Structure 1
Amino acid sequence: MGKIFDLDSPVMRVLNVVADLMILNFAVLLFVLVPFTGGAALTGMHYVLLKIVRNEETYVLKGFWKSFKLNFKQATIIWIIIVAISAIIGMDFWWIYNNAGAIPPVYAYIMFGITVILYMVSLYIFPLLARFDNPVRGTLKNAVMFAILGLPRTVAMAIISLIPLLLLYFFELRIIPILMMFGFAGPGFLMAVLYNGLFLKFEPKVEVPKDDEMHLDDEDDEELQAAIKRLQEARDKK
């Protein structure tokens, strides 16, 4: 029984992850409610989530704040772009709804398809910003590439990301306490499990040189030669 509550037991590891997700979700929720900081908050969230998925040691709030500050400028620019595009799409659908009789149905289907594609692309933007160092344009282009290469996991990520909305639709106000604890970080964690393998394929591999492959720079080589010379001189004196 005691082994269940050991720090390295599976049960304790799961509980630690749940606690980290809860803390992370409150941090994200706080900044998402503040104007223009939603992008930086989601970037910080994915930075921490990827470390959790990879079992890398991290302090949730410290890691979140580190990525938040580091990527604030780019994340805010992208966030404003996303909000602007979302507003345009929303107004377009409102116009279609109010002019349904005068607009061919195919137009609504085309708009819906474009919206779905853009949404799936957007799912990769902040994880990419959290993990890779690229300008805004490069991040957006890479998001398109990853959304295509990541099929069908991209579709799964889109479904997972909509879980909070589905829960809110079916359970209404009763589910709000759960969403306040896990509404962002919970689905984000499952998404990180999916995109982690794809990211690993594009991350540079760091190889540790073998002993016979290690080399010395000029300064170290001079010091080594001087030490050998002193040893030879000491031997000759004897």
Structure 2
Amino acid sequence: MGKLFDLDSPFMRALNKIADLMLLNLVVLFFLVVPFTGGAALTGMHYVLLKMVRDEESYIIKGFWKSFKLNFKQATVLWIIVLVVGAIIGVDFAWIYYNADKVPAAYTYIMFGVSILLYMVSLYIFPLQSRFDNPIKRTLKNSVMFAILGLPRTVGMTLVSLIPIVLLYFFDMQILPILILFGVTGPSFLMALMYNGLFKRFEPKVEEEETKEPVNDEDDEELQAAIKRMQEARDRK
């Protein structure tokens, strides 16, 4: 029984992750309410969640805030793009609703299909922003590519992301306290479990390129001098 409550036991690690998800969810909700900070908040959230999935040591608030500040400008632009596209789709569906007798059924089905595809692509935007350093245009292109390469996990991510809406539909406001604690980070953590393997396929090349730094003449001279000292020390032995 004592081992169950050891700090390194699976039970305690699970409890720690639950507590971290709860704390992170409250922070993310706060910034989602504040105008124009939603993109940076989702980026910071996915930065922390990916570390949690990989069991990498990370302070929740410190890691979130680090990614939030680092990606704020670009994530905000991406957030505005997502909101604008979402608003256009919403207006289009409202127009279809009020003109149902005039709009062909085929147009409704096409709009529904396009909306689903765009939503699937949007699920990768902020995880990619949190992990890879790319221009906005490249991030959007990569989101499309990952959504395609990630099939069928992209479908799974879509279904998981809709869990809060499904819970609200069936349980109404009774489920609201749970959603306040885990409504954003809970589904997003499950999504991170799904896209983690896909991200790893591309990370080695990126990390290798990032670690390659040009060697100037001074560095080369210092390296040669160090090698010479090592050879002289070996000869003395």
Normalised to the residue count of structure 1, the TM-score between the two structures is 0.90
- The residue number in structure 2 matching 1:80 is 80
Please give the alpha-carbon distance, in whole angstroms, between the structure 2 residues aligned to 1:101 and 1:159. Answer: 31
Alignment of 1:98 with 2:98, yes or no, is: yes
1:221/1:169 Cα in 2 relative to 1: closer, same or farther (>3 Å)? Answer: same
Distance 1:227 1:130 in 2: 42
1:221–1:187 distance in 2 versus 1, CA, 3 Å = same
In structure 2, the residue matched to 1:183 is: 183
Distance change in 2, residues 1:229/1:146 (3 Å): closer
> What is the SS of the residue equivalent to 1:102?
coil
Q: Displacement of 1:218 after TM fit?
A: 3.6
C-alpha distance in 1, partners of 2:73/2:18? 30
**1:230, 1:66 → 2: CA distance?**
45
Amino acid at match of 1:11: F
Residue 142 of structure 1 corresponds to 142
Q: Which residue of 2 aligns with 1:64?
A: 64
Question: 1:219: how far off?
Answer: 1.3
| 1:158 maps onto 2:158 in alignment | yes
Listed as ranges, the matches of 1:1-238 within 5 Å are 1-204=1-204, 218-226=221-229, 229=232
Aligned length: 226
- The amino acid across from 1:160 in the alignment is V
- C-alpha deviation, 1:77, in angstroms: 0.3
Q: Distance in 2 between matches of 1:229 and 1:49?
A: 50
Per-residue CA distance 1:69-128 (angstroms, 9 max, x = gap):
000011100110111111111111011111111111111000000000000000000000
> Rg larger in 1 or in 2?
1
Aligned pair in 2 of structure 1 residues 149, 231: CA closer, same or farther (>3 Å)?
A: closer
- Structure 1 segments (4+ residues) deviating >6 Å: none
User: Between the two proteins, what is the percent identity of the paired residues?
Assistant: 65
Deviation by residue 1:130-173 (Cα, 9 ceiling, x = unmatched): 00000000000000000000001000000000000110111111
Counterpart residue type for residue 221 of structure 1: Q
Report SS of the residue matched to 1:126.
helix
TM norm structure 2: 0.91
Unpaired stretches in structure 2, ≥5 consecutive residues: 209-218
Runs of at least 5 residues in structure 1 that lack an aligned partner in the other structure = 208-215
CA-atom RMSD in angstroms: 1.9
Shift of residue 222, structure 1, vs aligned partner: 1.3
